[in-house]
Amino acid sequence: MATAEAAVDTSVLKTAREKCWQARDAYYKCVEDAGVTFTAETPPPPACKAARAAYEAACKASWVRHFDVLQDKRLRYLQTLRTNIAKQTQTGAGSQQGKAA
């Protein structure tokens, strides 16, 4: 007897991914608007608990962990860039005009 594979409706999967991404983006925006620095380890700010619950409900737990780690890395990278740019600006290094002759 042959086994029948269940047909996967890709539109359902696409819709689920989009809902997850929208909930994720709404949560990260809430954290940013609350003025809190996001890290993967810290709990959500009180104003964002509903957005976090919606995010966790819309996404698989493994996706939530993955996205949180990516967001944490992205924000740390941006902070490093800002720090390095500020240091270069203070010392005059990195000027495109160069030193006056």
Domain ranges (residues) in the chain: 16-89
- Give the percent of the chain with pLDDT over 70: 83
Give the pLDDT of residue 75.
Answer: 92
In eight-state DSSP terms, residue 101 is -
With a CB cutoff of 8 Å and minimum separation 6, the contacts of 65 are 40
Distance CA 87, CA 81 (A): 10
Pair 47, 34: CB distance under 8 Å? yes
Average pLDDT over residues 61-90: 93
Give the pLDDT of residue 87.
Answer: 87
Give the pLDDT of residue 100.
Answer: 55
pLDDT at 65 over 90: yes
The predicted-structure confidence for 9-20, as pLDDT tens digits, reads as follows 788 899 999 999
End-to-end CA distance of the chain: 86
Give the pLDDT of residue 47.
Answer: 96
